[in-house]
Amino acid sequence: MSLLTTRTGIVRSLLLTFTAAATLACGSGEGKPVMLTGAGATFPYPIYSKWFDAYYKSTGNQINYQSLGSGAGVKQFSEGTVDFGATDGPMNDAEIAAVQGKVIHLPTVLGADAVTWNLPTLGKTALKFDAATLADIFLGKITKWNDPRLVALNPGVALPAIDLLVVHRSDGSGTTFIWTDYLSTVSSEWSTKVGRGKSVNWPVGLGGKGNEGVTQQIKQVAGTIGYVEMIYAISNDLPVGEIKNKSGAFVAPTLESVSAAAAGVSLPEDTDFRVSIVDAAGAGAYPVSSFTWLLVNPDLADADKAKAIKKFLSWMTGPEAAAMASELHYAPLPVSVAERVNARIATLKGAGAVLP
Amino acid sequence: MGRFGASFITTSTWDPVAGQFGAWPAIVGTLLTSLLALSMAVPLSLGVAIYLPEFAPGPIRRPVATVIELLAAIPSVVYGLWGIFVLIPFLTTWVYPFLEARLGFLPFFTGPVYGPSVLSASIILTVMIVPFIMSVSREVLLAVPSGQREAALALGATRWEAVSTAIVPYAKSGIIGAVILGLGRALGETMAVTMLIGNRHEVAASLFAPGYTMAAVIANEFADAAGGPIHESALILMALLLFGVTVLVNAIARLMIWRVSLGRGNT
């Protein structure tokens, strides 16, 4: 019996391989499936693995992605040990110079940070914050929950007179990069004292490891406040704050408001997509949002691999991939940005020649 | 390494964005948590190690020892999670307020109680190293020839006198070896400590305040060394320092064993 099932299994998988190969042969005129490797950011890993799986099922090309962290993604891409990298913070000019400029940043989805806190007396009442208040909280200048500025922002909410304790990430992370990028953009004091980075010298607070570490510390101590990845906050049903954006509206982090932040971005004609979308203009834009990028070599020596990557990227900017992203609570690229990304993908080369 | 110089060890600012790295808080944190853990673990594990073979009723000796030894097999990330979900809530509701009320006049037990702190990390380390120290010293005590024990008893010693004058001195160097094994584990422990110490580059007088250890810094920041090559070099230098500290501590401990065995003559 078990022998029979095994045999059926083998036959079925052979059939599958055959069909996959046949589809591929019809689709691209090529026979052999390609193996691609990538490494980098952990934040988009769930959606990347779903995309790579769907891509594998439809083309037979396998993409092996290791979610090691953005730093490792940039490093491995620069060293050429992977076919593509992924990062939450764009490569800086020195890093790009180190690879002789042979890198294209392609935005894939959007991420955002949510402010969350623990005030047992208020339960899940949504609180409002603005840029200056958040900067002062994380600079350690606001130390009580009933600070006049917080009270003024939240009329009608009985903020308790307890100590305000900051919790931040202890491990280097893209989430911290987005958060400090936002604070640096809106507060000159933060920008000079602390700056932006995946790990920074925090003026106050204690560090939790990972989104779950921060959340645990917030849950256990009353009066804590911290930032976590938006998807994490939503899926764990944490209270999230509305943040006042550039146009003066208080916006909660949602897929729509994050996409809106990207829709307002103006990309120059020759953009390399290394743009920050924190503190974006636009009425519905959530201010603590960011792209996450794939790092791709514009001219891979291996034409087959280049072709496979290009095929994946073109599919990734399409509606089917965007729907998958929304399903997993990743804000997809707004159409205007996706079109620009597509135009850039069209220029990718393989072994020196422009790909079909 | 030349870039950092001695200030790497002596300064306390850790700012990857500005490229400033000072490892002092992490060095202090590593030594402090390990020594605190050791000071709690040694009496506890020696107590168990002596009680079990000498005083405990026969049927419970084996099971209790086995259960304690099982603790050594638990992965440290599980200890960390247990620490977050069980130990810290327990400590912050019962133990820390008590310490603050009774011993608050000491600088070690003051300031706001966050939960994750140097003391919490030391307590989890204690739980982790007790099985090591306990099981090795128990084996050593069991290896003491029964003639030693019988001779003491024959001279009219009580059981406790036999233990304290004849058996423990005989096993002394083995017990110190067990303690060093525990210390080595405590110095290098990463995951559980990272999860419970609060991860703050700061030396505070209070044990309730968050701190950092060298192993925890490396684990936290290496994967995403965002400050570029300098940040990475700083972390690798930190690893070298950790190695140096471990060697130093072990050397001191070896010296202690050597002096103990010297003082006892050539037995």
Is residue B244, in this structure, part of any structural domain at all?
yes
**Looking at chain A from residue 94 to 133, which residues have their Cβ under 8 Å from any Cβ of chain B?**
94-95
**Substitution target from A171, A175, A178, A212 for chain B, most B beta carbons within 10 A:** A171
Q: Decide: helix, strand or coil at residue A167.
A: strand
Q: Does residue A91 have a pLDDT over 60?
A: yes
Q: Does residue A242 have a pLDDT over 50?
A: yes
Is residue B14, in this structure, part of any structural domain at all?
no
Are the C-beta atoms of B197 and B118 separated by less than 8 Å?
yes
Q: Cβ contacts (< 8 Å) between B220 and chain A: which residues?
A: 170-172, 199, 207, 209
| Nearest residue, CB atoms, A220 vs list B115, B201, B225 | B115
Is residue B139, in this structure, part of any structural domain at all?
yes
Q: Decide: helix, strand or coil at residue A154.
A: coil
Q: Cβ contacts (< 8 Å) between B17 and chain A: which residues?
A: 194-197, 200-201
Q: Do B114 and A177 touch (CB under 8 A)?
A: no
| This prediction's pTM | 0.80
**Looking at chain A from residue 59 to 98, which residues have their Cβ under 8 Å from any Cβ of chain B?**
68-72, 89, 92, 94-95
Query: Residue B213: which of B187, B251, B234, B184 has the closest Cα?
Result: B187
Confidence grade of residue B212 (pLDDT, cut at 50, 70, 90): very high
d(CA B61, CA B249) in angstroms, rounded, equals: 33
| Nearest residue, CB atoms, B220 vs list A89, A171, A177 | A171
Confidence at residue A309, expressed as pLDDT on a 0 to 100 scale? 92
Alpha-carbon torsion (A157, A160, A161, A165), positive or negative: negative
Neighbours of B249 (CB within 10 A): 19
Q: Does residue B23 have a pLDDT over 50?
A: yes
Is residue B35, in this structure, part of any structural domain at all?
yes
Q: Decide: helix, strand or coil at residue A211.
A: helix
Q: Does residue A320 have a pLDDT over 60?
A: yes
Q: Cβ contacts (< 8 Å) between B216 and chain A: which residues?
A: 170
d(CA B31, CA B37) in angstroms, rounded, equals: 10
Q: Residues A256-285: what's their mean pLDDT?
A: 87
Q: Does B81 touch chain A (CB under 8 A)?
A: no
Are the C-beta atoms of A261 and A110 separated by less than 8 Å?
yes
**What residues contact residue B137 under an 8 Å CB cut-off, 6+ apart?**
B45, B46, B49, B171, B174, B175, B178, B179
Q: Decide: helix, strand or coil at residue A350.
A: strand
Confidence at residue B225, expressed as pLDDT on a 0 to 100 scale? 65
Q: What is the pLDDT of residues B59-68, one digit of tens each?
A: 888 888 889 8
Confidence at residue A23, expressed as pLDDT on a 0 to 100 scale? 44
Tokens for B30, please give them: 């590593």
Q: Concatenated DSSP letters for chain B?
A: -TTTTTHHHH---EETTTTEE--HHHHHHHHHHHHHHHHHHHHHHHHHHHHHHHTS-HHHHHHHHHHHHHHTTS-HHHHHHHIIIIIHHHIIIIIHHHHHHHHTTSGGG-S---S-SHHHHHHHHHHHHHHHHHHHHHHHHHTS-HHHHHHHHHTT--HHHIIIIIIHHHHHHHHHHHHHHHHHHHHH--HHHHHHS-------S-TTS----HHHHHHHHSTT-TTTHHHHHHHHHHHHHHHHHHHHHHHHHHHHHHHHHHHT---
Q: Determine what percent of chain A is predicted with pLDDT higher than 70.
A: 91
Give the ipTM. 0.76
Burial code (b: 16+ CB inside 10 Å, e: under 16) for A4-25 equals: eeeeeeeeeeeeeeeebeeebe
Any bridge partners for residue A84, and if so which? A38, A296
Q: Does residue A285 have a pLDDT over 90?
A: yes
Q: Do A206 and B14 touch (CB under 8 A)?
A: no
User: Closest-CA residue in chain A for B201?
Assistant: A201
More confident residue, A71 or B45: B45
Q: Cβ contacts (< 8 Å) between A191 and chain B: which residues?
A: none
Q: Does B116 touch chain A (CB under 8 A)?
A: yes
Confidence at residue A137, expressed as pLDDT on a 0 to 100 scale? 95
Confidence grade of residue A31 (pLDDT, cut at 50, 70, 90): low
Confidence at residue A227, expressed as pLDDT on a 0 to 100 scale? 95
In sequence order, which ranges of chain A are alpha helices (DSSP H)? 2-28, 45-59, 70-79, 93-98, 131-138, 148-153, 174-186, 188-193, 210-220, 230-235, 255-263, 303-316, 319-327, 335-345
Q: Does residue A38 have a pLDDT over 50?
A: yes
Any bridge partners for residue A292, and if so which? A109
Tokens for B147, please give them: 């003639």
Confidence at residue A3, expressed as pLDDT on a 0 to 100 scale? 46
Q: Does residue A25 have a pLDDT over 50?
A: no
Q: Does B14 touch chain A (CB under 8 A)?
A: yes
Q: Does B17 touch chain A (CB under 8 A)?
A: yes
Q: Residues A297-316: what's their mean pLDDT?
A: 90
Q: Which of B48-52, B106-110, B116-120 has the lowest mean pLDDT?
A: B106-110
Confidence at residue A250, expressed as pLDDT on a 0 to 100 scale? 94
Confidence at residue A24, expressed as pLDDT on a 0 to 100 scale? 43
First to last CA, chain A: 49
Largest alpha-carbon pair distance within chain B?
72
**What residues contact residue A68 under an 8 Å CB cut-off, 6+ apart?**
A39, A40, A42, A76, B223
Q: Does residue B244 have a pLDDT over 80?
A: yes
Q: Does residue B48 have a pLDDT over 50?
A: yes
Q: How many separate domains does chain B show?
A: 1
Q: What is the pLDDT of residues A121-153, one digit of tens each?
A: 888 888 999 999 999 999 999 999 999 999 999
Is residue B6, in this structure, part of any structural domain at all?
no
| Nearest residue, CB atoms, A172 vs list B88, B198, B223 | B223
Amino acid type, B193: V
CATH value at residue B34: 1.10.3720.10
Q: Do A72 and B20 touch (CB under 8 A)?
A: no
Q: Any idea what DSSP says for residue A301?
A: S
Q: Does residue B233 have a pLDDT over 90?
A: no
Q: Does residue B266 have a pLDDT over 80?
A: no
d(CA B243, CA A247) in angstroms, rounded, equals: 54
Query: Residue A242: which of A232, A253, A233, A234 has the closest Cα?
Result: A253
Write down the residue that tokens 């506890």 correspond to.
B44
Cβ contacts of A299-302, under 8 Å, gap ≥ 24? A299/A102, A299/A348, A299/A349, A299/A350, A299/A351, A299/A352, A300/A83, A300/A349, A300/A350, A300/A351, A301/A351, A302/A350, A302/A351
Tokens for A207, please give them: 């560090």
Is residue B2, in this structure, part of any structural domain at all?
no
Q: Do A197 and B227 touch (CB under 8 A)?
A: yes
Q: Cβ contacts (< 8 Å) between A165 and chain B: which residues?
A: 112, 114
Q: Does B89 touch chain A (CB under 8 A)?
A: yes
Q: Residues B61-81: what's their mean pLDDT?
A: 89
Q: Does residue A5 have a pLDDT over 60?
A: no
**What residues contact residue B216 under an 8 Å CB cut-off, 6+ apart?**
A170, B26, B29, B190, B193, B194, B197, B199
Q: How far is B31 from chain A (nearest CA, A)?
A: 20
Neighbours of A346 (CB within 10 A): 12
Q: Does residue B123 have a pLDDT over 50?
A: yes
**What residues contact residue B177 under an 8 Å CB cut-off, 6+ apart?**
B136, B140, B257
User: Closest-CA residue in chain B for A192?
Assistant: B18
Q: Which of A29-38, A83-92, B163-172, B256-265 has the lowest mean pLDDT?
A: B256-265
Q: Does B25 touch chain A (CB under 8 A)?
A: no
Among A61-70, A179-188, B165-174, the range with the most confident prediction by mean pLDDT is A179-188
Is residue B55, in this structure, part of any structural domain at all?
yes
Q: Do A69 and B223 touch (CB under 8 A)?
A: yes
More confident residue, B41 or B204: B41
Q: How far is A70 from chain B (nearest CA, A)?
A: 6
Q: How far is A203 from chain B (nearest CA, A)?
A: 10
Confidence at residue A20, expressed as pLDDT on a 0 to 100 scale? 45
**What residues contact residue A196 under an 8 Å CB cut-off, 6+ apart?**
A177, A180, A181, A183, A184, B17
Q: Do A220 and B88 touch (CB under 8 A)?
A: yes
Confidence at residue A235, expressed as pLDDT on a 0 to 100 scale? 84
Q: Residues A200-217: what's their mean pLDDT?
A: 88
Is residue B13, in this structure, part of any structural domain at all?
no
Q: Which of A13-17, B103-107, B145-149 has the lowest mean pLDDT?
A: A13-17
State chain B's mean pLDDT as an integer: 86
Give the range of the structural domain holding residue B240, as residue numbers without chain letter. 20-262
Are the C-beta atoms of B144 and B162 separated by less than 8 Å?
no
